[in-house]
Every structure is written in structure tokens, then in C-alpha cells.
Amino acid sequence: MELSLADTKKWIELFVQKVESEKSQLNELDTAIGDGDHGTNMDRGMKAITDAFSKKEPEDIVSLHKTVAFALIQKVGGASGPLYGTAFLDMSKKAKDDADLTTLIQTGLAGLKRRGQSDVGMKTMIDVWEPVANALKADEFNQSVIDEALTSNKALVATKGRASYLEEKSKGHLDPGAQSSAYLFEALLTVLGA
């Protein structure tokens, strides 16, 4: 299934709204196992997306994903910038010949794994992206997929990123990148009307 340009834009706008309203929640999660700036960093990226959309209305899905990618790459500052940025940039490239939603999310996931040199189970945003990609493929994407992904992420010991320095102490804390990714996919669910 392909998302229309209008729906893709709505998806990103809902993500922007969600991150902006949950900025302090994301900072709080990052304070527990990181440096406390995930909300502030993502918020800066969200503002850059809004700015970029208002300066130039994306004319197709390819350019929309690219605009999102560059806003995040340029403005986020922390590790989530190159991670989300790579995901959206790869999605933009893929959309040139295949804009199927499932394919795009899988492409974004592969980009995250490449950029972060990480995989599922390391307590990162991949713990959300992978089950969502799988659920989309199986046509079983719903809120419980996201909820379960967050629950299992919380129970993990971090083996990637700054939180990995905390070893066992990272257990019981939700990874802030997993939470912001959950917002991304909750926004997608809203657009899909599920």
C-alpha cells in the first residue's frame, strides 16, 4: 500500500506535534540513561521540519522524505540526527522506484541498522522499528505492536549507545529513541485510521 503525498505529510506533521508536546517526557527518559537532551534535540529537528515545509511545499513523497531527512540531520545534534536522518534519506531514495509503505519502513529500518551498526535487542529505536516493519508486512499493524515493543525495550539491558555504559542499570528504563520512534508510528497509525 502506498501513502498519498497528503497522508505522508499529515503523518510527519502529527509526529512533529507529538514530539513537541512530549519534549520534556523525552528529556526525562534520556536523563535516566543518557544525557537528558533527546526531547530538546528532537524538538529542534521538528521545528526545522516545520520550517522546511513552510518554505517549500514538498511536491512528492521522495522530496518530502528528503526534506525530513535533512532537517533532522542538520538540526538534531545528537545521535538521533544521523539515525533518523539516514532512515528518512534511505526511504527517500527508495521511494523513487518503490513507495510501498511497508517497503519504505523496512528500508528505513535497514538504514538505522547500518548507521548505528546495531540490531534489534540492543535497547535502541530499532526495537520499535523492526516489529512495526514486520507487522506492516503481515498486515497486523496496530497499537499493541507499539506497546509491546516498548515493554520489551524497557526490560532490555542496553548494549549500544551511551546507555550501554550503565550495563544492568539500564534495565527497567525505556530508551528515549524507542519512545520517539513510538510517537512516529502512533502518528502513522492515526493516518492509517487504525
Partner 1 sequence: MKYGILIVSHSKDIAIGVKKLIEQAAPKLSITTAGGTDDGEIGSSLEKIQTAVEKNSGDEILAFYDLGSSKMNLEMMIEMTDKKIHKYDVALVEGAYAAATLAEIESPLETIEKTLEPLKIK
| Interacting residues with partner 1 (CB under 8 A) | 41, 73-74, 77-79, 81-83, 85-86, 115-116, 161-162
Q: Which is nearer to partner 1, 9 or 38 (CB)?
A: 38
Give min distance, CB of 74 to partner 1, in A: 6
Minimal distance, residue 35 CB to partner 1, in Å = 8
Residue window 8-47: x/- pattern of binding to Mg ion, with contact defined by CB under 5 A: ----------------------x---xx-xx---------
From the CB of 115, what's the least distance to partner 1, in Å?
5
* Per CB under 5 A, 177 contacts Mg ion: no
Inter-residue contact 128 to 87 (CB < 8 Å): no
Longest dimension (CA), the chain: 47
Alpha-carbon distance 184 to 180, whole Å?
Answer: 6
Contact segment (CB under 5 A) with Mg ion among 14-22, 55-63, 71-79, 115-123 equals 71-79
Q: How many residues does the chain have?
A: 194
Using only the alpha carbons of the chain, give its radius of gyration: 15
116, 126 Cβ separation under 8 angstroms: yes
Q: Are 12 and 30 in contact (CB under 8 A)?
A: no
**Residue 82 CB, nearest approach to partner 1 (Å):** 4
Work out whether the CA dihedral 157, 153, 139, 117 comes out positive or negative.
Answer: negative
Query: Which residues of this chain interact with Mg ion, rule CB under 5 A?
Result: 30, 34-35, 37-38, 78
